A and B are shown apart, each in its own frame.
Chain A
Amino acid sequence: MSDDPEGYTFDQARWSNDDEYVPLLSETSAHTAEPGDALPDDLTRDSLALPAPAEPTLVRHYTRLSELNYGVDSGPYPLGSCTMKFNPSFTEDVAALPDAAVHPDRPDKTVQGVLELQHRLQDYLGRIGGMDAVTLQPPAGAAGEFTGIEVTKAYHRANTDERTEVIIPSSAHGTNFATAAMAGYDVVELPPAEDGRLDIDALAAAVSEETAALMLTNPNTVGLFERDVTRAAELVHDVGGLLYYDGANLNALLGRARPGDMGFDVMHYNVHKTFATPHGGGGPGAGPVGVVSDLAPFLPTPHVRDTDDGGYETYAPLQSIGKVHGYAGNWLVLLKAYAYVARLGDEGLLDTSATAVLNANYLADRIDLEVPYGPFHHEFAATAGDRDAADIAKAMLDHGVHPPTTKWPEFVNEAMLTEPTEAETKRDLDTLAAAFNAAAAASDEDLDRVPERTAARRIDQVRAAREPRLSWQALSDAE
Chain B
Amino acid sequence: MTIDYPDDLLYRDSHEWLTTDEPRRVGVSDFAQDELGDVVFVELPEPGDPLAAGDAFGVIESIKAVSDLYSPVDGEVVAANEALFDRPELVNEDPYGDGWLLKVEVATEGDLLSAEDYQGLVA
Contact = CB atoms under 8 A, between A and B. Distances in A.
B63 A465 contact: yes
Contacts of A461: 38, 63
Interface in A418-473: 461-462, 465-466
A127 interface: no
Contacts of A465: 38, 40-41, 61, 63
A163 interface: no
Contacts of B89: 466
B56 to A, nearest CB: 11
B33 to A, nearest CB: 13
Nearest to B37: A462
Contacts of B40: 462, 465-466
Interface residues of B, number: 9
Give the dominant DSSP class at A's interface.
Answer: helix
Contacts, number: 15
Contacts of A407: 64
Interface of B: 38, 40-41, 61, 63-65, 88-89
A465 B64 CA distance: 11
A465 B88 CA distance: 11
A209 to B, nearest CB: 22
A465 B41 CA distance: 8
B64 to A, nearest CB: 7
In the A-B complex, the 8 residue pairs with the closest CB atoms = A465-B40, A462-B38, A461-B63, A466-B40, A462-B63, A465-B63, A462-B40, A466-B88
A56 B63 CA distance: 38
Nearest to A407: B64
A465 B63 CA distance: 8
15 contacts: A407-B64, A410-B65, A461-B38, A461-B63, A462-B38, A462-B40, A462-B63, A465-B38, A465-B40, A465-B41, A465-B61, A465-B63, A466-B40, A466-B88, A466-B89
Contacts of A466: 40, 88-89
